[in-house]
Structures are given as structure tokens and as C-alpha cells.
């Protein structure tokens, strides 16, 4: 694939000090190439959310290097960091839309931050609503939208700054299976059409299976295994990968059983 766009080198993150010290991440080494849809999977408490927040420095790593778009993020000043963040977008499990703004105004938000002219921003926001397939929801407030629609608005907002990287923190975990599939399909389409590199944090194997080309398996703050999704799925090397795959198989059985009952 393309050249590396995100490189994590010898990353450590500890919270607290002294006796209360908790090590969330240990010696993380991950390279994401431009154009990848990279999955980071692990059970809750594995450190996935901390890891993804180290990429845009919402969390500052205790040790190690974070290189995004060729820039060493930890070396940037506050102002340079804010600038760098404009090309690394992020979407969240809880959508995190501004509740007092309409869908259109939410999408305008990152453009306002960047100083884009109001009319230009609104025109671009309307285009983005088309991209996420919500052209008629411009004037709706978040409270009037369903979970899937809110995430689509959040994705449109994330695209407004023309990012090179899109970080997804459990972006589908609050959604039902059908909506999850449609949101994942949208992410895949954006990856193909716009060439946005996507990093997906999830605890569901199905998510990785549906859209990722590469995956890292995280357990207790340590990367257990990285590789092509097909390799990891067909021939898991680590115990953690096997546990996650077994869990996914059990889920599928459960869904089959549920279908049978219906």
C-alpha cells in the first residue's frame, strides 16, 4: 500500500503517579499506511481509546513518538498541534454533536474554526450532507435525529476539514447491527473515493471483518499481534486473537439462533 501516514514508536502511557500508577499502554509500535482501514481491536479496558487519543494527542504519551503526516506530534507547539489536528478528524461512540446547533451548523463548525467564509462553509456543508446521504436534514437539531443519522452528521463534520486521517472511536458501538453495517459501508466508500485513511477502534470482530484491511490486537495495553486481517483471521498467532475470534463466532451463532426463533 501507500507510504506510512501514522507511526507510533515505542509508545507508553501511564496514568497517575506513585502507588496509584496505572500503565495503560506499553511499548506500542504500529504503522498505518496511507489508504489503510486499520482496525485496533481489544476488549474493554485494553487501552484502545487511550491509544487512539495518543494519535491526535488528546492524550499525551508518557514516552515514545507519534508521527502523523510526517510530523512528530509530540514536538509541536500548542498552536502547531491545533493546526495538525485539523487534518486528523475523529468520530465518537456518543457522536458528540453540538446539541444547540443544527446538522448544517455542526458541519460548519470545523470550517468556522479554520476561518472559512460563512457562505462557503454552508455550501460545503450542504455538499457533505449529500455525501452522507442526509440532504434533507440540514435544519434538524441532533435531538431530532436517530443514532445512525447523528453519526452521519458527525462523519460529515469530520470530513469538512478535508482530513487525511479519520479516527473512529467505537463509532458504531451505540448503533444496532443494521445501522452499524450502513455506517461501516459509508466509511469504506469514503476511504475508496476520498482516499482518507481510517483508523477504527472497536471491540467487535465483525467491524474489523467488514471493512479493515489491517488489524492490531490490543490486550492489557500491549499489542499482541498485527497483520493483514485475512492472515490474523485465518491463522491467529496470539491467544488474545483466538479469544476475540471465538467471541465473534459465538456472537454469530447467537444471531443465527435469534433468526431461527423469529
Partner 1 sequence: MFSEADITLLQNIVHNELASALWQTVYMTFLPTIIAFAVGLPLGVLLVIGEEGGIRPLPKPLMRTLNVIINLLRSVPFLILLVVVLPVSRFIVGTTVGSPAIIFPLAIAAFPFVARLVETSIREVDKGVVEAAQAMGASPFQIIWKVLIPEAKPALISNFTVALITIFGYGAMAGIVGGGGIGAIAVNYGYYRRKLLVLYLCVILMIILVQLFQTIGNTVTKKTDKRLR
Task: Find the binder of partner 1 among 98, 185, 239, 257 (CB under 8 A).
Answer: 98
Q: Least CB distance from residue 141 to partner 1, whole Å?
A: 4
Kindly give, in sequence order, each residue whose CB lies less than 8 Å from that of residue 30, ignoring residues fewer than 6 positions away. Answer: 6, 7, 8, 38, 40, 216, 223, 226
Distance CA 54, CA 65 (A): 10
Q: Least CB distance from residue 178 to partner 1, whole Å?
A: 24
Q: Least CB distance from residue 21 to partner 1, whole Å?
A: 17
C-beta of 107 vs 134, nearer to partner 1: 107
Task: Find the binder of partner 1 among 85, 137, 152, 214 (CB under 8 A).
Answer: 85
Is residue 99 close enough to count as binding partner 1 by CB under 8 A? yes
C-beta of 38 vs 95, nearer to partner 1: 95
Q: Least CB distance from residue 125 to partner 1, whole Å?
A: 14
Task: Find the binder of partner 1 among 144, 146, 228, 257 (CB under 8 A).
Answer: 144
Binding mask 107-136 for partner 1 (x = CB under 8 A): --xx-xxx----------------------
Q: Least CB distance from residue 18 to partner 1, whole Å?
A: 17
Closest CA to 182 of 217, 144, 146, 158: 146
C-beta of 48 vs 85, nearer to partner 1: 85
Task: Find the binder of partner 1 among 14, 31, 71, 96 (CB under 8 A).
Answer: 96
Residues that bind partner 1 (CB under 8 A): 56, 58, 81-86, 88-90, 92, 94, 96-102, 109-110, 112-114, 141, 143-144, 161, 167
Amino acid at each position: 500500500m501507500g507510504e506510512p501516514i501514522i507511526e507510533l514508536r515505542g509508545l507508553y502511557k501511564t496514568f497517575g503517579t506513585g502507588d496509584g500508577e496505572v500503565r495503560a499502554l506499553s511499548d506500542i509500535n504500529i504503522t498505518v499506511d496511507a489508504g489503510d482501514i486499520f482496525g485496533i481491536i481489544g476488549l474493554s479496558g485494553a487501552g484502545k481509546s487511550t491509544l487512539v487519543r495518543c494519535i491526535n494527542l488528546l492524550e499525551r504519551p508518557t514516552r515514545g513518538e507519534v508521527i502523523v503526516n510526517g510530523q512528530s506530534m509530540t514536538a509541536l507547539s500548542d498552536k502547531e498541534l491545533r493546526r495538525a489536528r485539523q487534518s486528523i478528524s475523529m468520530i465518537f461512540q456518543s457522536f458528540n454533536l453540538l446539541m444547540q446547533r443544527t446538522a448544517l451548523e455542526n458541519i460548519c463548525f470545523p470550517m468556522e474554526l479554520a476561518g472559512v467564509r460563512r457562505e462557503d462553509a454552508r455550501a460545503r456543508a450542504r455538499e457533505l450532507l449529500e455525501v452522507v446521504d442526509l440532504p434533507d436534514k440540514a435544519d434538524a437539531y441532533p435531538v431530532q435525529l436517530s443514532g445512525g443519522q447523528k453519526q452521519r452528521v458527525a462523519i460529515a463534520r469530520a470530513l469538512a476539514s478535508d482530513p487525511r486521517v479519520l479516527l473512529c472511536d467505537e463509532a458504531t458501538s451505540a448503533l444496532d447491527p443494521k445501522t452499524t453495517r450502513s455506517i461501516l459501508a459509508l466509511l469504506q466508500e469514503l476511504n475508496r473515493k476520498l482516499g482518507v485513511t481510517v483508523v477504527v477502534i472497536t471491540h467487535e470482530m465483525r467491524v474489523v471483518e467488514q471493512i479493515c484491511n489491517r488489524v492490531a490486537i490490543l490486550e492489557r495495553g500491549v499489542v499482541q499481534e498485527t497483520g493483514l486481517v485475512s492472515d490474523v483471521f485465518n491463522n491467529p498467532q496470539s491467544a488474545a486473537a483466538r479469544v476475540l475470534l471465538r467471541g465473534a463466532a459465538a456472537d454469530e451463532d447467537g444471531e443465527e439462533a435469534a433468526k431461527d426463533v423469529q
